[in-house]
Amino acid sequence: MLRRDLQGGHDSMVSGLELKKRFAIRAACAAACALLAGTSPAQQDLAAKPVFSESEIKIILSHGPWPAPAQADPSNRVSGKPDAIDFGTRLFFDQRLSASGTLSCSSCHVPERNWTDNLTRGVGMSEVDRNTPTLMNLLASRWYGWSGASDSLWSQSLRPILDPRELAATPRHVAQLVRDDEQLSCRYRKAFGTPPSAADDEAVLVDVGKALAAFQETLASGRTPFDRFRDALAKATEPPPGTYSEPAQRGLKIFIGKGGCTACHSGPNFTGGEFFATGLSRFAPRGQPDPGRRDAIRQLMESRFNLLGPYNDDPTGASAARTREASLEKAGFGEFKVPSLRNLILTAPYGRDGGVETLAEVARHYAGLDPASLHAKDGRPAKPLDLTPREQTDLVVFLESLSTFSNPWRPDDGGQCH
Ligand code: HEC
Ligand code: HEC
């Protein structure tokens, strides 16, 4: 596990040092690789087309293939089932799920906005503390929410239903809606094989979460220019001319080398799913410090809906192991989940508190060229990478190449349930 590798189970100061060492090693490697390629680092920087070493190609290949193969969630007995996906789709857009009858999941997770809202922080009945994340590519996640307060997609889906700032509903409200509405109860029956329980509100609520999860599991972002470049490298062929620009290739080289980004933004979805303090988001966006992962572990262990609880459908119990481990996890204050970097051009603003407007600003943050603003931010400052303005631009062009403008999801009318 990445986090354990980097931190060795110690506190965040140690992890900072470890990480810096790792950065230094990577920077040294980047320089060495450039020498191997027969140019000095300075010449390499000026060369229009970067050359990738064997070890760099290995890292690039680890960011694919895309789409990544997906497996059903063992903790959710309707994961991957078409009838549950259909039921979950209706629920996701149904405003009657909220106490006021005016809000749905899609009020904040808007399909046309890549399943986010482009606001600084989400607004339901009132404003919440954090930026609304996209719902793309969640299937293989280990933790949900910016601080990982939920250990399954279905339990994460219950939080906004009950949160007074979001849909502000109760288990009773949701269960009655599903029982009383002919179409919803018909779809429930098809998805779960039985009618909704007449007496147990909580059981119906949890199944609503599981149907919502089945729908969200289907949301995956498309293939990008980076994926085509990566696959061409895998086949050891030249990518078709014009498919991947030289600035994007230079940015990729920084991302996997000098920038050290791959240490946290790893794998096909550009996240290892673990928790770090980077100082990208402000410490106390609304005057209230956000303790992040440290608080989330307590919330997770206290939740009736965690994978150690009665609603985990996995008969082997294997899926609960990670939750048991989490109770022993030592999280530093202000650590947050590493987000995916796919489809970023559609999901501004950035960071857990939504305070970062553009990718250029992200690059500037990581480049360490903005020391004044670091004082206003939390945690240890990122190690100054001293990226030149051109390197920062290349990095942004690379980040943009992880996006596609096409959003394959289209609503359908779902027909009538009989
Ligand atoms: C008021 C706006 C709002 C509404 C309404 C809302 N969400 Fe969210 N959603 C958020 C915010 C903000 C977060 C981040 C929460 C956190 O980190 O604590 C989030 C996080 C999530 C995540 C975790 C994503 C990840 O990357 O880990 C999922 C899944 C999710 N919401 C699903 C839903 C579902 C399903 C509904 C409807 C039942 C819903 N949301 C309604 C704003 C909203
Ligand atoms: C130590 C782990 C770590 C490293 C190294 C790292 N990141 Fe991040 N990254 C994070 C975390 C954690 C967040 C969320 C921070 C927050 O909002 O508080 C984040 C957020 C981001 C975001 C915002 C995404 C969004 O949807 O809001 C971008 C873009 C990003 N990183 C790019 C990079 C680039 C480029 C590099 C290399 C220069 C890099 N990261 C290196 C951990 C890391």
Which residue segments constitute the domains of the chain, with CATH numbers given?
2-67+223-285+339-400 (1.10.760.10), 82-219 (1.10.760.10), 287-326 (no CATH)
Note the pLDDT of residue 236. Answer: 85
Note the pLDDT of residue 279. Answer: 79
Rounded to an integer, the average pLDDT of 300-328 is 94
Phi-psi region of 222 (alpha: psi -120 to 50; beta: other; left: phi over 0): beta
Residue 123 β-bridge partners? 127
pLDDT at residue 19 is higher than 70: no
Atom of ligand 1 lying closest to residue 135 CA: 24
Note the pLDDT of residue 147. Answer: 94
In angstroms, the CA 207 to CA 205 distance is: 5
pLDDT tier at 77, thresholds 50, 70, 90: very high
For 275, residues 6+ apart whose C-beta sits below 8 A from its C-beta are: 3, 143, 147, 148, 292, 293, 331, 335, 336, 337, 338
Q: Which residue has the higher pLDDT, 403 or 36?
A: 403
Rounded to an integer, the average pLDDT of 357-385 is 64
pLDDT tier at 42, thresholds 50, 70, 90: very low
pLDDT at residue 33 is higher than 50: no
Rounded to an integer, the average pLDDT of 189-214 is 98
Note the pLDDT of residue 48. Answer: 64
User: Residue whose CA is closest, atom 16 of ligand 1?
Assistant: 145
User: Residue whose CA is closest, atom 43 of ligand 1?
Assistant: 108
Give the three-state DSSP class for 193. coil
Residues 139, 141, 145: CA angle, nearest 5 degrees: 110
In the chain, the percentage of residues whose pLDDT exceeds 90 is 65
Average pLDDT over all residues of the chain: 84
pLDDT at residue 393 is higher than 90: yes
The best mutation among 25, 130, 136, 264 to test binding of ligand 2, ranked by most ligand atoms within 8 Å of the C-beta, falls on 264
Judge if pTM exceeds 0.85. yes
pLDDT at residue 380 is higher than 60: no
Q: Is the dihedral of CA 252, 256, 259, 264 positive or negative?
A: positive
Give the three-state DSSP class for 243. coil
Which among 371, 412, 347 has a CA at the least distance from the CA of 120? Answer: 347
Ligand nearest 340 Cα, by number?
Answer: 2
Which stretch of 3-17, 74-88, 256-270, 383-397 has the lowest confidence by average pLDDT?
A: 3-17
Note the pLDDT of residue 89. Answer: 96
pLDDT tier at 12, thresholds 50, 70, 90: very low
pLDDT at residue 221 is higher than 50: yes
User: Residue whose CA is closest, atom 30 of ligand 1?
Assistant: 157
Note the pLDDT of residue 365. Answer: 87
Note the pLDDT of residue 36. Answer: 38
Q: Which residue has the higher pLDDT, 206 or 330?
A: 206
In angstroms, the CA 335 to CA 337 distance is: 7
Note the pLDDT of residue 291. Answer: 87
Q: Which residue has the higher pLDDT, 289 or 363?
A: 363
Q: Do residues 299 and 148 touch, judged by C-beta distance below 8 A? A: no
Which among 169, 27, 37 has a CA at the least distance from the CA of 95? Answer: 169
In angstroms, the CA 51 to CA 282 distance is: 37
Q: Which of 135-144, 237-246, 367-376 is the most confident on average?
A: 135-144
Rounded to an integer, the average pLDDT of 191-201 is 98
pLDDT tier at 383, thresholds 50, 70, 90: low
Please state the three-class secondary structure of 90-143 as a single string. HHHCCHHHCCCCCCCHHHHCEHHHCCECCCCCCECCCECCCCCCCCCCCCCCCC
Note the pLDDT of residue 308. Answer: 96
Tokens of 19: 């990480």
- Angstrom CA distances, 100 to 123, 168, 169, 309, stand at 14, 8, 8, 30
Tokens of 263: 């240490």
In angstroms, the CA 199 to CA 196 distance is: 9
pLDDT at residue 341 is higher than 80: yes
Q: How far is the CA of 339 from the centre of ligand 2 (A)?
A: 7
Residues with CB under 6 A from ligand 1: 103, 105, 107-109, 122-124, 128, 130, 132-133, 135, 138, 144-147, 153, 156-157, 160-161, 166-167, 212, 216
Ligand nearest 161 Cα, by number?
Answer: 1
How long, in residues, is the chain? Answer: 418
Please state the three-class secondary structure of 130-178 as a single string. CCCCCCCCCCCCCCECCCCCECCHHHHHHHHHHCCCCCCCCHHHHHHHH
In angstroms, the CA 80 to CA 280 distance is: 35
Which stretch of 21-30, 85-94, 176-185, 273-282 has the lowest confidence by average pLDDT?
A: 21-30
In angstroms, the CA 249 to CA 44 distance is: 13
Rounded to an integer, the average pLDDT of 400-408 is 85
Which stretch of 99-108, 236-245, 281-290 has the lowest confidence by average pLDDT?
A: 281-290
Q: Residue 59: count other Cβ atoms within 10 Å of its Cβ.
A: 17
pLDDT at residue 368 is higher than 70: yes
Rounded to an integer, the average pLDDT of 350-367 is 92
Ligand nearest 213 Cα, by number?
Answer: 1
pLDDT at residue 39 is higher than 90: no
Q: Which residue has the higher pLDDT, 279 or 120?
A: 120
Note the pLDDT of residue 330. Answer: 83
